[in-house]
A and B are shown apart, each in its own frame.
Chain A
Amino acid sequence: MELLAARGITKYFRDTGTLANDRISISLAEGEIRAVVGENGAGKSTFARILAGIIAPNAGEILVRGKRLVGGSVGEAEAAGIGFVPQQSLLARSLSVAENIVLGREPRSVGVFVSERKAYVESALLFERFGVRIDPDSLVSSLSAAESRQVEIARALARGGEILVLDEPTSILSESESERLFELLRRLAKAGKAVILITHRLSEVLRVAHTVTVLRSGSVVADKRIEDADEEELSGLMARSSYMRNTSAAGQARPEARRDEAVLAIRNLRLAPGAQRISLDVKAGEILAVTALAGNGLQGLEDCASGMTRPRGGEVLIGGRRIESIQREKLRAELLSYIPSEREAKGLCLPCSFRDNILVLRRKEFGFWDWIRSSARDRAAREAAFAGGLKASPRVAVSSLSGGTRQRLLLARELDRPKAILILSEPFQSLDLSAQAEASALIRDLAKQGSAVLLLTSKVEEILGLADKAIALYRGEIAFEGPIQGPETARTLLAAMTGASRGSAA
């Protein structure tokens, strides 16, 4: 009998207007490891959380051993045997491994007191059974990422988990650590547990899963047994169709990079544990795109390149000078345009006014009286808004603006003139297609005027027709580097991003 059956799961998020899951159906038998793959935003995480009971679906049903679950309750899901291991570790770092495992169901010695011994024994037995080699007395804070992952899985099992849902478990693990995790999963499967593995790393999927479901834009586009699956076919299925449209713009002639020396030079950055250090250059007039799926080092690259984080052992040079040596105010006002991917955290002051946000880099242009009377600043804000194709009243708080408007605010602020370097991370988020096209044109124009552009994104289709060169990162290392030459490049990039070109293990 089927251990788990999800039928017609649909989830619509009203506040963002997205249909995250569209009639997804999946089945799972005892001892089966099923991979659920898809690009960022394909709906994998939402589906995982529905299974875990964290959110309730709008439609559809979940059956465990034939028994229907109401949904939307973590307690119910756990009682039914569904254990969820989220992407970010939810272990209590100041407690020991054993304490974490028994947390909430602590074995007692006398009355209120916890029996440390019983907790130890319980954990040790569990670890023994599945070949986990961790000392239950060690503190979680001393564990490596891989060990934490294993402890989370053990905890889910200890709480009665028969069906484990793992959300991107290998995102912070090295190759060898991932392999050890897969061994644990294989042992679990042999013991009759079922595993749903949410991931975007195709090559791994092929190593450990028995079956694979491909999600794209919220729907199931493929459901195969691993023996019947082909890596290239799968990665092609994962990609959204829209990038096919953009490929028409690919291959268009672009003016050669004007100067030969690198305006932005990144040297010897280590972007993931155990990864090789990478270096890259961006020249004036060049648009270099770096693509990677979440968890493969893109955020780290952004943080270092923009000067927000100091790299350990590597360096970032702007026009030959180390970024730390340039006064940041001058850097941002004159040399560097930066659009962060974490827009609200690093790019905006939500409670502040639209005017203050859009003019913040130009604040020194205004004189004493302009700060007392706001008319000059209001006017400047309106002009900037108009130039950026936005409509917003200067005094309105940014928190009340939509995501699309906020993004356009950032674009208007940062792309108002061709500064030496543009670091744009997910610059097209929240934008509709026409706004995206406008923004692309603007970026191309700035490059033509001499800006060096570093474009960071996880969506391959956005860079076609825009970038001259592309680098794909996988696990923090360069998996592909080369010029954009049309739609084939897109496929190559995607394959590199998912680790396909690494080749599957035996």
Chain B
Amino acid sequence: MKLGSSRAMARLAALTAAVIVAVLYTFVASADPVMALKAFFIGPFANRYSLLAMLESTAPLLVCALGACIAFRAGAFNLGGEGQAAVGTLASALASSALERIPGLPPIACIAASIMAAAAAGAMLALLSSIAERSTGAEVMLTSFLLAQAAIIAADWAIGGPLRDSGANLLGMAMVPERLRLPRLAPPSPLTVAFPISVVFALCTIFMTKGTRVGMELRLLGKNPVFARAIGLSPGLGSLAMAMSGALAGVAGSFLVLGQAGRAIRGMTGGIGWNGLAAALIAGSDGIGALPVALFFSWFDSGSRQAAMLVDLSPDFSSILKAAALFLITAKLAGDESRKPGRFSSKAGT
């Protein structure tokens, strides 16, 4: 559809412009721009290790972005991704440590259970907001953020406090034994099954949005909630979307714990919820753009890190790229596609 391709063009333009910003920046800030550019563009792909590491770091980001896309599609703005991922890390670590003690369980079952525990934790946190909205009308945007912030504090406290592994010198829980972590696909690189699993999630999400009745209903709900009510769309649909969104963020948390880190560490979510939200805003609500955008973000991160290692640039400069892409993507002229998120305040205007 013509409309679709112009959206894709807009996304590509935004990301390309971000890359141009990167190029300009290297010329301004670095004493050796050529080296910096080589590090940025080629570095992440230069060797197997860095390429696979890049893919691995895409996994949790992609999954968070998918969750944000689904909520976005249903017209809810789930701002609690960070917190849902945090409770996911906690739940996953707890599940793994509990299952560790049960003899005879196949590792694959334990890993699956751990991931599901994380998904459940994230889903429940998100559902709280949805329930509040259905019974009182309190905006999901606000409550999801507030509850998530509280959850982050609680999770950080738990991981760094009572659940802390006292032997270690960082604030984290005990290591999850190797066999109960996500299997490595190509050691010594950090790539685990997380990446293929996240791609499968992406495909499932796209399938849901494009090829099922529920996907169509979610879109209807998001685009015109009054109409959705008038034709009798199930009121539980919004809650379903929030639950899926929270679950996916929780899964992202479990990927962090069961992946390279191998344990729950205080503060390990490190902004993944916000990055996932940003990626989702650029990718659009059907989820098709989620994988490419997540890969772009991972590349920004990896490229910046490589450039920082080789030359004198700061590794945090990928944030600038992401911000640039966000600014550009929202500066579209047609307001039709990106539904304006429900506003915080109940006043009219803007």
Contacts and interface: CB of A to CB of B under 8 A. Distances in A.
- Please determine whether chains A and B interact with each other in the same assembly: yes
Interface stretch (A8-16, A237-245, A246-254, A344-352): A344-352
Interface string A334-359: 00001010000111111110001000
A395 interface: yes
A306 interface: yes
B213 interface: yes
Nearest to B208: A371
Interface stretch (A62-70, A278-286, A292-300, A324-332): A324-332
Contact of A363 (B207, B217, B219, B226): B217
A110 interface: no
**Centre residue among B211, B232, B234, B336 by max chain A CB count within 10 A:** B232
Contact of A348 (B3, B211, B224, B234): B224
A352 B216 CA distance: 9
A387 interface: no
B231 A332 contact: yes
B216 A363 contact: yes
A356 to B, nearest CB: 6
A399 B336 CA distance: 10
B233 A352 contact: no
A366 B216 CA distance: 12
B230 A351 contact: no
Interface in B213-238: 213, 215-217, 219-220, 223-224, 226-227, 229-234
Contacts of A349: 219-220, 223-224, 227
Interface residues of B, number: 23
A327 B223 CA distance: 22
Contacts of A441: none
A333 B223 contact: no
Nearest to B217: A363
B1 interface: yes
B232 A346 contact: no
Contacts of B211: 371-372
B223 A352 contact: yes
A351 B232 contact: no
Contacts of B220: 349, 352, 356, 360
Nearest to B216: A356
Contact of A329 (B216, B219, B234): B234
B230 A366 contact: no
Nearest to A395: B1
Interface in A165-180: none
Contact of B213 (A333, A371, A397): A371
A448 B179 CA distance: 73
Interface string A350-389: 1110001000110110101001100000000000000000
Interface string B115-159: 000000000000000000000000000000000000000000000
Given A331-B232, A332-B232, A399-B336, A348 B227 contact: yes
Given A308-B230, A327-B232, 16 more contacts: A306-B230, A329-B232, A332-B230, A332-B231, A332-B232, A340-B230, A345-B224, A345-B226, A349-B224, A356-B220, A361-B231, A368-B212, A371-B212, A372-B207, A372-B211, A372-B212
12 contacts: A333-B232, A345-B224, A346-B230, A349-B227, A350-B224, A351-B223, A352-B219, A352-B220, A356-B216, A371-B213, A372-B211, A399-B336
Interface of A: 306, 308, 327-333, 338, 340, 345-352, 356, 360-361, 363-364, 366, 368, 371-372, 395, 397, 399
In the complex, the 6 A-B pairs of residues with the closest C-beta atoms, listed nearest first: A328-B232, A329-B232, A332-B232, A372-B211, A346-B230, A349-B224
